[in-house]
Amino acid sequence: MDLFSVALGVNPMCGMEFEWFNFLENSHSWQNKKGVEPTPLTPGMFGYSLLRMNQTREFFNAIQDEMLQFGVPIEGLHTETGPGVYEAAIAFCDALTQADRAILFKTGTKEIGARFGIMPSFMAKWNAALPGCSGHIHQSLSDGKKNLFADAKGRHGMSKVFESYLAGQVAHLMEFAPMLWPTINSYKRLVDGFWAPVKPTWGLDNRTASFRVISGSPKSTRLETRCPGADVNPYLAMAAVIAAGLDGVEKGMKLTAPPIYGTNGGAENIPRAPRTLIETTRNFQQSKVARDWLGDTFVDHFAATREWEWRQWLDGVTDWELKRYFEII
């Protein structure tokens, strides 16, 4: 992150939001169940429910209080839509500190949960019938004194820097896709018609777009990149979005694509994201932008790890295959 700052004289600022499911399991019960049919912490589809929060208030309070002792201030914590789902927003700060906070949050939540007989999971999509878990990244650029994204006279309140940063993400972010969707399961979350965006689109306060422009006060104006899932490595995901954005700033890219409207209106002719890890990994491996910002050594090594993950998946025999083929073939 510091290298990005030195290169362009800006300081990337970030904030992460995580959604995750919580289950009444521990490592022994989960092993005994052979990895199927976990018991959710609470039943039903209760987003923003005070009733469901109160049912597990000790766990809920422990996350808020003990994360603060870790140096991880939580700005928001509430239930989300789905059985046993929580969502947390981590306080905005410089990108590297935010990545530290985000990884501590994921680890700390698991450790706190174990104390209450609860197993949190940041898996992107554990059940095909339920919503997936996101890992949204809010971003802006600072010169140390002010938010460089804000311009009251700019188009939609966006500065030229903001427009170029957004244009960079629209143009390049799919080349960094394995850093945002790093597992086999990541791509099960990318389902058309759900809240997880599947195309490189942008919109004005539009949650169906991959890139949500939030234009408010000079302090709060920012970009929310909504593509990543909760299964990300925060360091790599932030490096990816910042590299794509700063490439746009460095090159003075113009934001020519129009914003989408409503529920993906205007996105009909935009190609969707690939559906598999191996496709995005090959694109990443061939990306000149990724190699320029992250270096050949990292790109080759990380691509090799994702290819290994894909080979492990190819060798696996799933319950889907057993249910589909065991009897009838």
Domains and CATH numbers, the chain: 2-274 (3.30.590.10)
91 and 75 Cβ atoms separated by less than 8 Å? yes
Say what the pLDDT of residue 210 is: 97
* Statement: residue 253 has pLDDT above 50: yes
**Does the pLDDT of residue 5 top 70, yes or no?**
no
Q: What is the pLDDT of residue 1?
A: 45
Q: Does pLDDT of 8 surpass 80?
A: no
What is the rounded average pLDDT of the residues 117-139? 97
What pLDDT score does 4 carry? 54
Task: Encode pLDDT of 135-162 as tens digits.
Answer: 999 999 999 999 999 999 999 999 999 9
Are 161 and 141 contacting, i.e. CB atoms less than 8 angstroms apart?
yes
Q: What is the pLDDT of residues 260-318, one digit of tens each?
A: 999 999 999 999 999 999 999 999 999 999 999 999 999 999 999 999 999 999 999 99
Query: In the chain, pLDDT over 70 holds for what percent of residues?
Result: 98
Query: 3-class DSSP state for residue 142?
Result: strand
The answer to whether the CB of 266 falls within 8 A of the CB of 260 is: yes
Cα–Cα distance for residue pair 247/169, rounded to 1 Å: 8
- Which of the four pLDDT bands, split at 50, 70 and 90, describes residue 6? low
Check residue 220 and give its pLDDT: 95
* pLDDT, mean over the chain: 95
State the average pLDDT over residues 1-22: 81
Torsion region of 47: left, alpha or beta (phi above 0 gives left; psi -120 to 50 gives alpha): beta
Question: What is the average pLDDT across 151-179?
Answer: 97
Considering the chain, what percentage of its residues have pLDDT values greater than 90? Answer: 92
Mean pLDDT of 89-94: 98
| Confidence band, pLDDT 50/70/90 cuts, at residue 259 | very high
pLDDT at 77: 96
Residue 7 confidence (pLDDT): 59
Give, rounded to a whole angstrom, the gap between the first and last alpha carbons of the chain.
Answer: 53
Q: How far is CA 206 from the centre of its chain?
A: 16
Q: What is the mean pLDDT of residues 225-234?
A: 97
Q: How confident is the model over 50-79, as a mean pLDDT? A: 94
Which residues are within 8 A (CB) of 268 and not within 5 positions of it... i.e. 6 or more apart?
none
Do the beta carbons of residue 182 and residue 276 sit within 8 Å? no
